[in-house]
Structure 1
Amino acid sequence: MLGFDAWKRQDYLLNRMTMRDLVRAYVTYPGVQIYLVLIAIFSAGVFFVNPDPLRVALSVGAAVAVYSLAWYLIHRFILHSRLLYKSQFTAALWKRVHYDHHRYPNDMGVLFGGLHTTIPTILAITFPIGWLIGGAAGALSAAATGMAVTCVYEFFHCTQHLSFNPKSAFMKRIKAQHLAHHFHDESGNYGIIDFSWDRFFGTHYPEMSDRPRSATARNLGYDAAEAERYPWVAELSGDRPARDHASENA
Structure 2
Amino acid sequence: MVVQNFVVDLNKPLVFQVGHLGEAYDEWVHEPIISKEGPRFFQSGVLELFTQTAWWVIPIIWVPVASWFISGSVKAGLPCSHVAPLVFLGIFLWTLAEYLSHRFLFHVKTKSYWGNTLHYLMHGCHHKHPMDSLRLVFPPAAAVILAVPIWNIVKLASTPSTAPAVFGGILLGYVMYDCTHYYLHHGQPKTEVPRSLKKYHLNHHYRLQSYGFGITSPLWDKVFGTVPPPLKADAKSR
Q: TM-score, normalised by structure 1?
A: 0.63
For residue 192 of structure 1, what is the amino acid of its counterpart?
I
Match of 1:159 in 2: 183
Given the alignment of the two structures, is residue 50 of structure 1 paired with residue 77 of structure 2, yes or no?
yes
Q: Check the 8 A contact 1:63/1:129 in 2, yes or no.
A: no
In the alignment, which residue of structure 2 is the partner of 1:59?
86
How far apart are residue 203 of structure 1 and its match? 0.9
Output one character per residue of 1:65-102: Cα deviation in whole Å (capped at 9) or x when no partner: 2111111110000000013x5252x5443222201110
Deviations 1:36-61 (A, max 9, x none): 33123323333332225454233212
Assess if the C-alpha contact under 8 Å between 2:93 and 2:170 holds in 1: no
1:26 is paired with a residue whose SS is coil
* RMSD value, Cα: 2.9
Looking at structure 1, the residues matched to 187 and 139 of structure 2 have their Cα atoms a distance apart, in angstroms, of 24
Output one character per residue of 1:200-236: Cα deviation in whole Å (capped at 9) or x when no partner.
Answer: 211102634499xxxxxxxxxxxxxxxxxxxxxxxxx
Provide the aligned length of Structure 1 versus Structure 2. 184
**What SS does structure 2 have at the residue aligned with 1:137?**
coil
Q: 1:184 is matched by which residue type in structure 2? A: R
Q: Distance in 2 between matches of 1:175 and 1:142?
A: 28
Maintained 8 Å contact 1:59/1:141: yes
Indicate which of 143, 146, 150 corresponds to 2:174. Answer: 150
> Is 1:189 matched up with 2:216?
no
Please state if 1:110 is matched with 2:139: no
1:26 aligns with 2:55: yes
Counting aligned pairs with the same residue, the percent is 23
Contact map agreement 1:71 1:191 (CA 8 A) in 2: yes
Any stretches of 5+ residues in structure 1 without a counterpart?
A: 1-11, 15-24, 212-250
In 1, Cα distance between the equivalents of 2:81 and 2:155? Answer: 12
Q: Please tell me the residue identity of whatever aligns with 2:140.
A: L
Corresponding residue of 2:5: none
Kept in 2, the 8 Å contact 1:177–1:189? The answer is yes
CA shift in 2, pair 1:145/1:119, >3 Å? farther
TM-score by length of 2: 0.66
Task: Kindly indicate whether residue 97 of structure 2 is the aligned counterpart of residue 70 of structure 1.
Answer: yes
8 A Cα contact 2:70 2:87, kept in partner: no
List, as ranges, runs of 4+ consecutive aligned residues in structure 1 with deviation greater than 6 Å: none
Q: Which protein has greater RCO, CA pairs closer than 8 Å, 6+ apart?
A: 2
Structure 2 stretches lacking a partner, 5+ long:
1-34, 38-53
How far apart, in 1, do the equivalents of 2:132 and 2:216 lie? 20
